[in-house]
Structure formats: C-alpha cells, structure tokens
Amino acid sequence: MTIKFEFRPGQPTKFSAETTEKIIEGVEKVLVLGQVAAWAQITRQTLYNWLNQGKEDIGKGLWSEHAQFFYKVKGKQCEEVAKLQLHIRNAIPNWQSQAWLLERCFREDFGADAGIINDLLEKCTKLESDFKKMNERGL
C-alpha cells in the first residue's frame, strides 16, 4: 500500500513517502519510537504529532495520509510484538531480554502497572473531553 501525498502551500513538511518508509523500516529494526524518530531525522514530538493526527483522522472517518501512516506504524509494531512473543513462547535462551523489551516499549500493554496506566489514560481522555465541552460553552 502506497501513501499518496498532496501538495500544500507553506513551509515544506518532512512528512513524505521517503520519511514515512524510513520510519516503518525503523520500527522493524529499532521498535522504540523515540529512536525511530531520531533515525528518520525528525523529532520525537513530530512523529507523535503525525501519529496523533492519523488517529484523529481515523476517529473522524477520514482516510488521510496520516491515517494510512498510523495504520502502517501500528501494523508494523504489532508484527514486531508478535515476533517477540513467539520467541518468548519458544523459550529461547535469552527470552527475558525480549520480555523486558516488550515491557519497556509497550508499557501500557505489558508493563507491571498496565492496568493503572490504562485507567489513567481513560480518565485523562474523559477530562480532556469535558474540558473541551466547557470551553465550547464558554465556561
């Protein structure tokens, strides 16, 4: 699947086919998004902004280039998680290092405090939504 890019006036964006492919490749090699961003020569915040934009677009039912990018990154992350889990299940001699990697890279799913983190994320999302509603009402 190829991501289509459209021309936009203003400052050129680093969001390009070359950069996004480098990020997808980086997820496979490095897995940690902060390191992937550095490897692709963008900031961590830029990468997260692109992913958040994709997630927002998906929520709005839009199939934008950011939405496609979001799915590609998340899909590649899922593939890499599956590989690590397979290695752990097959009890390779150093499975602990791969379990550690899962805990560190995907703390909300594999960390010891995963339940607490997910609960806090839900509460923050609710608070953010309530705050937006209050702003819209002028409160």
Instruction: Return d(Cα 45, Cα 64) in angstroms, integer.
Output: 20
pLDDT attached to residue 42: 93
Over the stretch 24-46, which tens digit does the pLDDT of each residue have?
999 988 778 888 999 899 999 99
For the chain, the domain total comes to 1
Domain that holds residue 68: 17-79
> Half-sphere exposure of residue 65, counting CA atoms within 13 Å on the CB side?
15
Over the stretch 62-93, which tens digit does the pLDDT of each residue have?
999 999 999 999 999 889 888 877 877 776 67
pLDDT attached to residue 111: 72
- Token pair listed for 92: 């390779």
Q: Is position 47 within any domain?
A: yes
Three-state DSSP string of 100-125: HHHHHHCHHHHCCCHHHHHHHHHHHH
Using the predicted structure, report yes or no on whether residue 102 has a pLDDT greater than 90.
no
Q: Which are the contacts of 13, defined by CB distance < 8 A and separation ≥ 6? A: none
Provide the whole-model pTM: 0.62
Instruction: Return d(Cα 5, Cα 65) in angstroms, integer.
Output: 7
Q: Is position 28 within any domain?
A: yes
Q: Is position 9 within any domain?
A: no
